[in-house]
Amino acid sequence: MPRHPGRFITFEGTEGAGKSTLIGKVRERLEIRGVRPVVTREPGGSPVAEKLRSLILGEAMDPRAELFLYEAARAEHLARTVVPALEGGRWVICDRFTDSTLAYQGMARGLPWNEVRAANRLATRGLSPDLTVFLDVDPGVGLGRSTDPNRFEREGLAFQREVRKGFLKARKEGARRWLTLKPGKATPEALAEAVIKELERRKWLPPARR
């Protein structure tokens, strides 16, 4: 059980997995059930963190510099947005979080895994998501979807495969908080329903009459 009254749910996946659409649908369903979540994203989610976001996504840089900028944005985002919301009893839905750092900077950029873990811990003070929804798509399928690729999407397929490997390794290390969805041909509605069912299974939402 979380150490705060709210619930902290992160969404992760490789590029083009459909996270944003799913987050929108889950939010709608939660609102129908009387939960008004704070929806946020990383990098970003607070004024300083959004400035760091443009810096990070705008320019190629040394992988260690990249790591520390993500962590700087994260510390700021947590302090200003996430922690106050959770402590106030709100649910927080976050598009990407520490598992992205393990997958991208740890696995795909090749920085030492345990040191990336330690950097995450420093930035978050040990706050971990209560649930992580992982959209597991074939990186080949996801990459084709983006109309405006950022510099990570332009890294190509081999990089995205490493990213996926990173997510799978992160999942192994903390399996209980992970819900893996394989979109395949499932509609965003069906995926959102699967998330809601998981929340009911965990008794965070009362069962609904269907």
Residues binding ligand TYD (CB under 6 A): 15, 42-43, 57, 70, 95-96, 100-101, 104-105, 150, 152
Minimum distance, C-beta of residue 77 to ligand TYD, in the bound complex (Å): 10
Helices (H), the chain: 19-32, 47-58, 63-77, 83-87, 98-101, 113-124, 139-143, 157-173, 188-201
Q: Which is nearer to ligand TYD, 105 or 132 (CB)?
A: 105
Residue 70 or 205: which CB sits closer to ligand TYD? 70
Min dist CB 17 to ligand TYD, Å, is: 7
Q: Which is nearer to ligand TYD, 70 or 167 (CB)?
A: 70
Q: How far is the CB of 209 from ligand TYD (least distance, A)?
A: 35
Give whichever of 95 and 136 is closer to ligand TYD, judged by the CB atom. Answer: 95
Q: For residue 123, how many other CB atoms are within 10 A of its CB?
A: 23
- Residue 127 CB, nearest distance to ligand TYD (Å)? 15
- Rounded to whole angstroms, the Cα distance separating 134 from 97 reads 11
Name the strands in the sheet holding 131-135, side by side, starting at the edge strand that comes first in the sequence: 38-41, 92-95, 8-13, 131-135, 178-181
Output phi, psi for 172, to 5 deg. Answer: -60, -35
- CA distances to 108, 144, 145, 152, 168 from 162, rounded to whole Å, are 5, 17, 19, 12, 10
Nearer to ligand TYD, 116 or 205 (CB): 116
Rounded to a whole number of angstroms, the minimum distance from the CB of residue 13 to ligand TYD is 7
